[in-house]
């Protein structure tokens, strides 16, 4: 099963006040940690940039990845996801990673990908001890249904209880990683 990683890193980081994708965690920019997690799991990787695109791409320029720009990142994550899906090409599935979740690591991505290859669901989400969360996997069939999904948090609705296919919850024995949106979130990582 051909699976490509799509890392979303196009946001303006208005709540953070600085390009959060570039903030270091353990000395490594957050977006680079996400890309390295995908690469370490053996996945071809596409990173979608937008706001701060030159700076984000500069911290990734030595990695064997493809960077693509969302021409209108203010339209939100869904628009960046669609740009990433188009760049990934005709694949069987994509793993969706966020460029501001630095604690998503290689073992976590490998666990998700192995479960999807074994179970062949319509889509998959990670089930942490503290609830569902990223990363997600969307198969070709789940991707096809994205066109009609609009509004806030469209993926959560797309993968919710009324999903048109089976959404596999892949259990991992850890708490849901912090999605860094604010200075307080960054401080909670022990970095701020």
Q: For the chain, list the domains and their CATH numbers.
A: 3-188 (3.90.550.10)
Query: What is the C-alpha to C-alpha distance for residues 137 and 159, in angstroms, rounded to an integer?
Result: 10
pLDDT value at residue 68: 98
* Distance from the Cα of residue 83 to its chain's centroid: 13
Under the banding of pLDDT at 50, 70 and 90, the label for residue 81 is: very high
Tell me, yes or no, if the pTM score tops 0.85. Answer: yes
pLDDT value at residue 191: 73
**pLDDT mean over 117-141:** 96
Q: For residue 191, what are the contacts with CB-CB under 8 A and spacing of at least 6? A: 23, 24, 25
C-alpha distances out from residue 186 to 23, 120, 179, Å = 9, 35, 9
> Measured over all CA atoms, what is the biggest interatomic distance in the chain, rounded to whole angstroms?
42
In this predicted structure, the answer to whether residue 152 has a pLDDT above a threshold of 80 is no
* Backbone dihedral angles phi then psi of residue 109, each to the nearest 5 degrees: -65, -40
CA angle 69, 22, 42 (to 5 degrees): 70
pLDDT value at residue 17: 79
pLDDT value at residue 192: 58
């Amino acid at each position: 099963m051909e699976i490509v990683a799509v890392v979303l890193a196009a946001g303006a980081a208005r709540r953070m006040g600085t390009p959060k994708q570039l903030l270091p965690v353990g000395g490594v920019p957050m977006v680079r940690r996400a890309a390295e997690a995908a690469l370490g799991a053996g996945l071809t990787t596409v990173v979608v940039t937008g706001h701060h695109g030159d700076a984000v791409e500069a911290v990734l320029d030595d990695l064997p990845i493809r960077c693509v720009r969302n021409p209108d990142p203010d339209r939100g994550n869904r628009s960046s996801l669609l740009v990433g899906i188009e760049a990934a090409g005709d694949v069987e599935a994509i793993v969706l990673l966020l460029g501001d979740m630095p604690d998503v690591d290689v073992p976590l991505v490998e666990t998700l990908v192995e479960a999807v290859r074994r179970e062949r669901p319509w889509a998959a989400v990670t089930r942490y001890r503290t609830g569902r969360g990223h990363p997600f996997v969307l198969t070709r069939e789940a991707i096809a249904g994205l066109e009609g999904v609009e509004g806030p948090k469209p993926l959560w609705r797309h993968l919710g209880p009324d999903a048109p296919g089976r959404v596999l919850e892949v259990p991992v024995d850890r708490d849901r990683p912090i999605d860094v949106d604010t200075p307080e979130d960054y401080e909670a990582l022990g970095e701020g």
